[in-house]
Amino acid sequence: MKQNIESHLEEKRVFKPSREFTKKAHIQSFDDYKRLHAKSIKNPEKFWASEASNLLWQKKWKKVLDWKPPFAQWFVGGQLNASENCLDRHLNGPRRNKAAIIWEGEPGERRTLTYHQLHREVCVFANILKRNQVKKGDRVLIYMPLVPEAVISMLACARIGAVHTIVFGGFSSDSIKDRIEDSGAKVVVTADGGYRRGQTVTLKQNVDQALKDNTQVKRVIVAKRANIEVSIKEGRDVWWHREAEYVNADCPAIPLDSEHPLFILYTSGSTGKPKGILHTTGGYLTGTATTSKYIFDLKEEDVYWCTADVGWITGHSYLVYGPLANGATCVLYEGAPNWPEPDRFWKIIEELGVTILYTAPTAIRAFMKWGDEWPKKHNLSSLRLLGTVGEPINPEAWMWYHTNIGGGRCPIVDTWWQTETGMILITPLPGATPLKPGTATLPFFGVDAAIVDDHGKEVGPNEGGKLVIRNPWPAMLRTIYGDKPRYKKQYWSEVKGCYFTGDGARRDKDGYFWIVGRIDDVLNVAGHRLGTAEVESALVGHPSVAESAVVGRPDEIKGQGVVAFVVLRETHKPSKDLAEVLRKHVGNAIGPIAKPDEIRFAEALPKTRSGKIMRRLLKQIASGATITGDTTTLEDFSVLTRLTKSADE
Ligand code: 7RM
Confidence of residue 269 (pLDDT cuts 50, 70, 90): low
In which region does residue 462 sit, left (phi positive, over 0), alpha (psi from -120 to 50) or beta (all else)?
left
Strands 545-555, 303-306: pairing kind: unpaired
What is the number of other CB atoms lying within 10 angstroms of the CB of residue 30? 18
Q: Is the dihedral of CA 28, 33, 39, 40 positive or negative?
A: positive
Residue 522 binned pLDDT confidence (cut-offs 50, 70, 90): confident
With cut-offs at 50, 70 and 90, classify the pLDDT of residue 174. confident
Return mean pLDDT, the chain. 93
Residue 638 CB partners (closer than 8 Å, separation 6+):
none
**CB of 419 sitting under 6 A from ligand 1:** yes
Over range 526-536, report the average pLDDT: 83
- pLDDT reading at 475 higher than 80: yes
Q: Is the CB of 314 under 6 A from ligand 1?
A: yes
Q: What is the pTM of this model?
A: 0.92
Domain 19-81+281-440+479-501: give its CATH superfamily: ANL, N-terminal domain (3.40.50.12780)
Q: For 413-463, write each residue's pLDDT tens digit.
A: 999 999 999 999 999 999 999 999 999 999 999 999 999 998 999 999 999
**pLDDT value at 268 more than 80:** no
Q: Is the CB of 389 under 6 A from ligand 1?
A: yes
Average pLDDT over residues 371-396: 96
State in Å: Cα 643 to ligand 1 middle. 25
Higher pLDDT, 42 or 614: 42
Among 490-494, 496-500, 533-537, the least confident range? 533-537
CA of 17 to the centre of ligand 1 (A): 24
522-648: CATH, from 1.20.1630.10, 3.30.300.30, 3.30.70.890, 1.20.1560.10: 3.30.300.30
Q: Which residues contact 34 (CB under 8 A, 6 or more apart)?
A: none
- Which amino acid makes up residue 598? E
Nearest CA to ligand 1 atom 16: 391
CB 76 within 8 A of CB 62: yes
Which pLDDT score is estimated for 647? 45
Residue 642's contacts (CB-CB under 8 Å, 6 or more residues apart) are 602, 603, 604
State if residue 267 touches ligand 1 by the CB under 6 angstroms criterion: yes
Residues present in the chain in total: 649
pLDDT tens-digit series, residues 53-101: 999 999 999 999 999 999 999 999 999 999 999 999 999 999 999 999 9
- Between the two ends of the chain, the Cα-to-Cα distance in Å is 39
Query: Average pLDDT in the 461-490 region?
Result: 96
Instruction: Please report the pLDDT score of residue 649 as a whole number.
Output: 40
Decide if pLDDT at 646 tops 60.
Answer: no
Min mean pLDDT across 19-23, 115-119, 639-643 is at 639-643
Q: Where are the domains of the chain?
A: 19-81+281-440+479-501, 84-252, 522-648
For residue 25, report the phi and psi dihedrals to the nearest 5 degrees. -75, 160
How many angstroms is it from 106 CA to the middle of ligand 1? 27
Instruction: Give the closest residue to 292 by CA, choosing from 122, 164, 429, 146.
Output: 429
pLDDT tens, position by position, 556-571:
888 888 999 999 998 8
| pLDDT value for 529 | 80
Q: Structurally, what CATH architecture does the domain formed by 84-252 represent?
A: 3-Layer(aba) Sandwich (3.40)
Q: Using a CB cutoff of 8 Å and minimum separation of 24, what contacts does 569-575 make?
A: 569/368, 569/369, 569/543, 569/544, 569/545, 570/369, 570/370, 570/371, 570/546, 571/544, 572/544, 574/601
pLDDT value at 272 more than 50? yes
Query: Which residue, 316, 312, 256, 319, is CA-closest to 282?
Result: 256
Question: Ligand 1 atom 17: the closest Cα is on which residue?
Answer: 392
Residue 185 clears pLDDT 80, i.e. is over it: yes
* CB-ligand 1 contact for 440 (6 Å cutoff): yes
Please check the confidence at residue 329 and state whether its pLDDT lies above 80: yes
Mutate to test the pocket of ligand 1, among 515, 516, 536, 616 (most ligand atoms within 8 A of CB): 515
Best substitution site from 416, 500, 513, 520 to test ligand 1's pocket, by max atoms within 8 Å of Cβ?
416
The whole-number pLDDT of residue 270 equals 59
Ligand 1 pocket check: which of 168, 316, 433, 503 to mutate, most ligand atoms within 8 Å of Cβ? 503
- pLDDT interval class at 2 (50, 70, 90): very low
Ligand 1: does its nearest atom lie under 6 Å from the Cβ of 415? yes
Domains 84-252 and 522-648 belong to one CATH topology: no
User: How many whole angstroms from 245 Cα to the centroid of ligand 1?
Assistant: 43
The mean per-residue pLDDT over the stretch 623-630 comes to 75
- Check residue 70 and give its pLDDT: 97
Lowest mean pLDDT among 266-270, 484-488, 578-582, 591-595: 266-270
- Could you tell me if the CB of 424 is within 6 A of ligand 1? no
CA–CA gap between residue 292 and residue 69 (Å, rounded): 27
* Whether residue 515 has its Cβ less than 6 Å from ligand 1: yes
Is pLDDT at 325 greater than 70 in this prediction? yes
Q: How far is Cα 163 from Cα 167, in angstroms, rounded to an integer?
A: 13
Q: What average pLDDT does this structure show over 328-349?
A: 96
Pairwise CA distance, residues 605 & 613, whole Å: 7
The pLDDT assigned to 633 comes to 66
As to burial, measured by CB atoms within 10 angstroms (0-12 exposed, 13-18 middle, 19+ buried), residue 493 is: exposed
Cβ(564)–Cβ(596) below 8 Å:
yes
DSSP 378: S
